[in-house]
Amino acid sequence: MDLRVPSGCFFVILGAILAAMGVLTPGLRAPLTDVNVNLYSGLSMLVFGGFLLLMARRAARK
C-alpha cells in the first residue's frame, strides 16, 4: 500500500469540507479571527492532498 493514497484522499476530503464551509458561510468567525480561515486552510489542505495523490500516481506509473 502506498501511504500517499489514503493520506492524500484524507486531506482532499478535509480540504473540501473546510473550503465548502468557507464558501457557504463566509461570515463565520471565531472571536479573534478577522479572515475567512476555513476557506484558506481548506484550500491549502486541498493542495496538499492533491500533491500527495499526484506523487502517488507518478510512483505507480513507473
Partner 1 sequence: MKLAVVDYVILATYFAFVIGIGWMLRKKVSTSGDFLLSGRSVPVWITSLAFIAANLGAQELIGMAASGAKYGIMTAHFYWVGAIPAMLFMGIFMMPFYYGSKARSVPEYLKMRFDEKTRGFNAFTFAVMTVFSSGISMYALGLLLHLVLGWDFNMCVLASAAIVLAYTYLGGLTSAIYNEVLQFFLIVAGFSPLAILACAKAGGWQGIVSRLPANMTHSWHYMGSASENPMGVELFGMVAGLGFVLSFGYWCTNFLVVQRAMAADSMSAARRTPLIGTIPKMFLPFIVILPGIAAVALAQMTGAGGAHLYNLPLKPDGIHTDFDQVLTTLMARFYPAGLLGVGLTGLMASFMSGMAGNVTAFNTVFTYDIYQSYIRKSAPDSHYLMVGRMTTIVGVALSIGAAYVARSYNNIMDLLQFVFGFVNAPLFATFLLGMFWKRTTAHGAFTGLVSGTVAASLTWGLTVAEGKGGVFGTVHTFPSVMAQNFWIAIFAFGTCFLVTVLVSMMSAARPEKELEGLVYGLTKIRHDEGAKWWQRPAPLAIGVSVMVILLNIWFA
**Given the rule CB under 8 A, which residues bind partner 1?**
1, 3, 6-7, 9-11, 13-14, 17-18, 21-22, 28-33, 37-38, 41-42, 45, 48
**Cβ closest to partner 1, residue 49 vs residue 61:** 49
Give the containing element (helix H, strand E) for 30. none
On whether the CB atoms of residues 11 and 48 are closer than 8 A, the answer is yes
Nearer to partner 1, 29 or 57 (CB): 29
The least CB distance from residue 53 to partner 1, in Å, is 13
Q: What angle in degrees, to the nearest 10, is found between the helix axes of 37-61 and 4-24?
A: 150
Give me 27's grid cell. Answer: 461570515
